[in-house]
Structure 1
Amino acid sequence: MHYQKILRIPTQGKSLNNVTTKIESIVAESVIETGICHLFLRHTSASLVIQENADPDVLKDLENFLAKLVPEDAYYIHSAEGSDDMPAHIRTVLTHTSEQIPIAKGELLLGTWQGIYIWEHRRRSHNRELVVHITGM
């Protein structure tokens, strides 16, 4: 059995947006008890990550680290959409645009402190599309 839905998530610019609850709702809708939830973010300047959801300092440290690793004030040839454009692409390459999470008893098998986030790498807000595809029985 397959179940698929596309979530449209508005981001606020450079932020980690917790989408765990939305994805859990889709898993419940699917009525699939055992399977896999495949997530795919349809963008090249935002990422999909599974990360700590208890202490917000972890998210701030991740944002600070990635900003230092891929600075916006460096020279990049590609700058068609602004000085944050190419750094956003590089940050996406270093992270992910897809994740797979097992499902058991109709629930995502995330760890106790894990949450699912869309990581917006651009300065301005965007509407991001996340494909949620669930396979199982």
Structure 2
Amino acid sequence: MWYQKTLTLSAKSRGFHLVTDEILNQLADMPRVNIGLLHLLLQHTSASLTLNENCDPTVRHDMERFFLRTVPDNGNYEHDYEGADDMPSHIKSSMLGTSLVLPVHKGRIQTGTWQGIWLGEHRIHGGSRRIIATYRGVKNDHFGVLHMHGKPRRRQSVHNDWKATQIKVEDVLFAMVKEVENRPAVSLKTQPGAGGAATSAAQRCASKPPSE
């Protein structure tokens, strides 16, 4: 089962923001499955998505200060068409990434106790941000069941079908061998030559012109 939806995050100031609830609230209509994966792609080059501390906001403040020191606005950048924060935003986006893949179990994302989804807004005035959420999952996670051609089938049933197919193939091969064994012998020593004369294969090869 596949599910896809475009999410919109409200405009935020430059810095790191906990957006777990803002994302999940827009996925309330996501089908409930037992096992699945949720892929989130941020469609921008001046922001980022990452997983980190979801409790203490000072972690986000410290992270922003670190990136402001590491990738300063006043660097010697050629690409500054949209202001001093233009190129630094692209660098930070590449450093942190713009996508996440999260496991889903029984309709809930399986993040750690202290993990939350962060939006890294790297522009001073970034505006709203779009995320493409793609969800893939199955409703039955019983290990005794295989899904083949849309129909759930027990492993033992699949195993029996395979054994039956294997036996049929062996029977066909055995019949082919017996058929070859029962055929009358064919002499390979002589064959009709030109003008009706019988010549051996060795003689014909010996008389073959070297240049042919």
TM-score bracket for the superposition, by shorter chain length: over 0.9
Where structure 1 has 5 or more consecutive residues not aligned to the other structure, the ranges are: none
- What is the match of residue 65 of structure 2? 64
Distance 2:26 2:2 in 1: 12
**How far does the alpha carbon of each residue in 1:99-137 deviate from its partner, in whole angstroms, 9 at most, with x for none?**
000000110001001111211000014111011111012
How far residue 57 of structure 1 moved from its aligned partner, in angstroms, is: 1.0
How far residue 26 of structure 1 moved from its aligned partner, in angstroms, is: 4.7
- In the alignment, is the contact (CA less than 8 A) between 1:27 and 1:108 conserved in 2? no
- What is the match of residue 20 of structure 1? 20
Percent of residue pairs bearing the same amino acid type: 40
Q: How does 1:21-100 map to 2 (within 5 A)?
A: 21-33=21-33, 34-100=35-101
TM-score after normalising by structure 2? 0.62
- Identify the structure with bigger relative contact order (alpha carbons < 8 Å, sequence gap 6+): 1
3-state SS in 2 of match to 1:29? coil
Is 2:125 aligned against 1:124? yes
Pick closer, same or farther for the CA change 1:22–1:2 going to 2, 3 Å: farther
Distance 2:59 2:28 in 1: 29
- What is the match of residue 112 of structure 1? 113
- What is the match of residue 143 of structure 2? none
- For the aligned residues, what is the CA RMSD? 1.3
Q: Between Structure 1 and Structure 2, which shows a larger proportion of helix residues?
A: 2
How far residue 37 of structure 1 moved from its aligned partner, in angstroms, is: 0.4
3-state SS in 1 of match to 2:13? coil
Bigger drift between 20-29 and 68-77 goes to: 20-29
Distance 1:113 1:102 in 2: 16
**How far does the alpha carbon of each residue in 1:8-66 deviate from its partner, in whole angstroms, 9 at most, with x for none?**
11222212232211333355422232100000000000000111011111111111111
Q: Between Structure 1 and Structure 2, which shows a larger proportion of strand residues?
A: 1
Q: How many residues align?
A: 137
Distance 1:77 1:125 in 2: 21
Structure 1 residue ranges, 4+ long, deviating more than 4 angstroms after superposition: none
3-state SS in 2 of match to 1:71? coil
3-state SS in 1 of match to 2:123? coil
Task: Work out which of the two has the higher radius of gyration on C-alpha atoms and give 1 or 2.
Answer: 2
Match of 1:42, as an amino acid? Q
3-state SS in 2 of match to 1:101? strand
Pick closer, same or farther for the CA change 1:30–1:103 going to 2, 3 Å: same
Match of 1:106, as an amino acid? G
Where structure 2 has 5 or more consecutive residues not aligned to the other structure, the ranges are: 139-212
